[in-house]
A = this chain, B = another copy of it.
Amino acid sequence: MRETGRSGCPINLTLEILGDRWSLIVLRDIMFGNRRHFRELLTKSDEGIASNILADRLKRLVERGLLARTDDASHKQKGIYSLTEMGIALVPVFAAMGSWGRRFLPVTEEMSIRAELLEQGGAPLWEGFMQELRALHLGAPAPEVSVLAGLTAAYREAVARREAANAA
């Protein structure tokens, strides 16, 4: 029945896939930062992931079904990493973790503005975001309003505000 797992508990099985320091970071960057290539994920990571670990996590996430890798037609070496429905369905998990982190941990304002919007928007916003991710990653029809654009704009505004304040 169970191959190598520890138990059939949903929390445990989720941890066996996502319970490490990097997997959710990679998924976060793909989901919220729309980073689709290896180098993008490697160099634009705020946390500075190492290349061997990134390679390993991408491979694992593809094997486990959260990501899909396709070739980039415009560049023979590039691969494109896309979220699957399984990956897209993590939006509520990110929202819950973001809310919790924002409340209890020393987050910076610019890094938590998206979590704040996700929390305020609630389930309807998450659903819109997931629809948009299906458009971006799975070729589904695009929704009318872009949640991601709103999140990204708010983030950039927060960065600009901080830089203006630092310059003053």
Contacts and interface: CB of A to CB of B under 8 A. Distances in A.
Interface size class of A (residues with CB under 8 A): 35 or more
B104 A65 contact: yes
A127 to B, nearest CB: 14
Nearest to A5: B106
Stoichiometry (number of copies): 2
Contacts of A17: 105
Interface of A: 1-2, 5-17, 19-21, 24-25, 28, 46-48, 65, 86, 89-90, 92-108, 110-112, 115
A15 B6 contact: no
A98 B97 CA distance: 13
Q: Which 7 A-B pairs have the closest CB atoms?
A: A10-B101, A8-B108, A6-B47, A13-B105, A14-B101, A7-B46, A9-B111
